[in-house]
Structure 1
Amino acid sequence: MVMATTTSTTAVTSLASVTLEVADPEAARRFYSAFGVDAYVRLRASEAHSTGFRGFTLALTVSGPTTVDGLVGAAVDAGATVLKPAATSLWGYSGVVRAPDGTIWKIATSAKKDTGPATREIDAVVLLLGVEDVKATKQFYAGRGLAVAKSVGGKYVEFAPGGSSTVTLALYKRRALAKDLGVPVDGTGSHRIVLGGAAADAFDAFADPDGFAWEAAAPLAPTPS
């Protein structure tokens, strides 16, 4: 993936928005509305070159297996491709789909049996960035001002959410993330995602050590009536 250098050291207090770069924003908007996750992502038109694994996933945590099945089914009905059918594992129950725009989504629960009726409710959303060196990237973000909420050696890091953010930022080894999602690890070109940061002061756009782009989060545009 293309890498860039930072141009400012202004502190970024939290991840405020996630913008997916897509070829057809209207088609993507229809898909994410039908999938039920349109509140968590913004969309931007882009024809940036990208092949293979883009190095990230958006992971949804839900209450039980039937809810996982319902969300996977909704995604497939709207045009997604199944990368991993929903199934029980050591850690719970999960499935993985790829949206028509190429973004990979994982839907999971720690419960192996339902304890209530199926819903469309999402308990948590995590943006997992697959990085080459978790410790180094953790230091990069900590230096930028993000607070670490959880850290498991050089394997996994989760940053504390801030403000009104609805998506938690986390780091995972790129190769391990690709394996978990059931895709080859190789990928070139743009990540096709832009992270919006909240900060006390304006800051210049920058990229992290793995080329993930950040910019100052813009206010949400009014929803058309």
Structure 2
Amino acid sequence: MASIEHVAVEAADPTAAESFYSTVFGLDSEVRPRLSEAPTTGFRGFTLSLVVPQPATVNGFINAALDAGATTLKPAAKSLWGYGGAVRAPDGTICTVASSTKKDTGPASREIDEIVLQLGVADVAASKRFYVERGFAVAKSYGRKYVQFAEPASPIKLALYKHRDLAKVAGVSPDGSGSHRLVLGSDAGPFTDPDGFTWEATAP
């Protein structure tokens, strides 16, 4: 079963980006910034999403991100599905933090239940087939709207969202061009998917 080992966020200042993800979210090995000045504008087509236990934890992570230079895209708030918000990291990556519960059950912590990399794609069904053919196992599937893959040993889960719908969730315009500024490290790589997301092979 295929899995994601890490994501390489491409940034003009990888040292600053590495400090941001480590200090704010504690993502030392999962997110590995690297140098890139490839042209990119608008929505890059993906979000790095953290699923956490409760609203207090959401607020703690988002406040820490803002203190470290991130900007607000969606203020943390209650919704039909829970509680969450979205920020843009200093390197341009969109990060969402959410909880499925709307009430706190204890003091805030830095616990993360899941890290989910959500890719915005043109055709969810076609991309689902593409990834299944490369060894990814489907955990959740909602028609042509959303798919999440699962590998228990993987630190990062992969999900596919309709491009426009993912931009709406993130609170940004769906328009964008140029590089995704993202490379995914996996035992399934190397390849480039139908939407131009690049994967590289990791050591066995």
TM-score range, shorter chain: over 0.9
Specify the alignment match of 1:189 in structure 2: 178
Return the match for 1:209 from 184, 187, 194: 194
Give the letter for the 1:178 counterpart: A
Number of residue pairs matched? 203
1:89-148 per-position Cα deviation (integer Å, ceiling 9, x unaligned): 111110100000000000000111101111011111100000010000000111112111
Partner SS state of residue 183, structure 1: coil
Partner SS state of residue 76, structure 1: helix
Specify the alignment match of 2:131 in structure 1: 141
**Residues 183 and 43 of structure 1: is their aligned pair in 2 closer, same or farther, counting only changes over 3 Å?**
same
Specify the alignment match of 1:172 in structure 2: 161
Q: Displacement of 1:27 after TM fit?
A: 0.9
Structure 1 distance, partners of 2:125, 2:58, is 32
Which has the bigger relative contact order, CA under 8 A and spacing at least 6?
1
The answer to whether the 8 A contact 1:56-1:129 is kept is yes
Report whether the alignment pairs 1:80 with 2:73. Answer: no
The answer to whether the 8 A contact 1:62-1:124 is kept is yes
The answer to whether the 8 A contact 1:125-1:168 is kept is yes
Specify the alignment match of 2:140 in structure 1: 150
Structure 1 distance, partners of 2:26, 2:44, is 20
Partner SS state of residue 133, structure 2: helix
TM-score (normalizing by structure 2): 0.95
Give the letter for the 1:58 counterpart: L
- Unaligned runs of 5+ residues in structure 2 are none
1:130-175 per-position Cα deviation (integer Å, ceiling 9, x unaligned): 0010000000111112111211111111112254x21100101000
- Greater Rg, structure 1 or structure 2? 1
The answer to whether the 8 A contact 1:18-1:193 is kept is yes
TM-score (normalizing by structure 1): 0.86
The sequence identity of aligned pairs, in percent, is: 63
Query: CA-atom RMSD, angstroms?
Result: 1.4
Runs of 4+ with deviation above 6 angstroms? none
Return the match for 2:6 from 3, 17, 42: 17
